[in-house]
Amino acid sequence: MAHHRIGPIALAFVLVSGATLLAQSTPFDGQLYRLNQTPPASYEPFYAGWSLATDVHHTPFVGISHPSGLPKKFQKDNDPALLSQSQWNVVFDDGIIQPGSSGSPLFDASKRVIAALTSGAGTCGNNFANYGRFDRFYETQGLAQWLDPLGWGLSAIDGYDPFEPYAVAYNGDATNAGLYSTAEAPMLGTTWTGVVNASAHTGATASIVLGYTAPAEGPTVSIGQLLIDTGSSKLLHHSAPVALSLSQHDLALPGDLSLAGLVVYTQAFVVGGGTEATNAIKLVLNF
């Protein structure tokens, strides 16, 4: 990391070097890379989401670029973008594109990447831009093998901060009842709470939450669909009684920096009067 001082202002430059090219497409001006190392938390990285949708009508559409390596620039179009066979076409209301911006992303109103800049003109009187469609890049170059490796048939994902704790529910093919929930992010150094609603499970006495390092989509057995990969490393096993139809799991998370970014795939099981598998919750631990 190098520091350069200009007058009274100190500028800090941080750098992660090296990536492996996985796929590229000239018509859509798209490239997909895998970083050779994970950016550290001190860099405060954010990973952009993406979408394969082509029926995008909500505005604004936003372009973000670093023309010829210059500081970040923004462009905004308040009107619906036009869709062609290979491109999204926009006329920006605010900001202009500049030389050296090719390949920069176009975001929809849900803040997901839908295209990459291929061409355009950036002047006050002629401010249009053409973006190669991400969905066509995805199809033609087989990006699912990297962006949807478990074959879930994803059509979009939200961007995320890998160093921000969060919890998100998932339920495979929706075989299991959605009984397992949380209202809290799993923040290290605090207590995280997961709740299992056993009101519809006659005779329920307790629930068990199991956590592993990988998810699963099956098999489906008599108690429901297994949504955690029991062949991966086990990280959590916690039991809690049922009281007034609810079973509450209070887990004290250590304030351990080495656990920052740890991903735990959890699923609950209601026991007593038979056993029932619930939906699952993905936890990302952090401060």
Residue 162's pLDDT is 77
Residue 41's pLDDT is 73
What is d(CA 226, CA 172) in angstroms, rounded to the nearest whole number? 9
Residue 2's pLDDT is 37
Tokens of 246: 């609810």
Residue 6's pLDDT is 36
Length of the chain measured in residues: 287
Residue 61's pLDDT is 93
Class of domain 166-284: mainly beta
Tell me if 32 sits within 8 A of 45, measured CB to CB.
Answer: no
Residue 125's pLDDT is 60
Residue 44's pLDDT is 79
Q: Where are the domains of the chain?
A: 2-157, 166-284
Q: What is the pTM of this model?
A: 0.61
Residue 123's pLDDT is 63
Q: Report DSSP letters for 66-94, one per residue.
A: -GGGPSPEEEEE-SPPEE-SSEEEEE-SB
Burial of residue 107 (CB within 10 Å: 0-12, 13-18, 19+) is buried
Who's near 254: CB < 8 A, 6+ residues apart? 188, 189
Q: Is 2-157 a CATH 2.40.10.10 domain?
A: yes
Residue 135's pLDDT is 95
CA distances to 27, 114, 168, 244 from 131, rounded to whole Å, are 10, 9, 32, 56
Residue ranges for the chain with pLDDT beneath 70? 1-14, 122-126
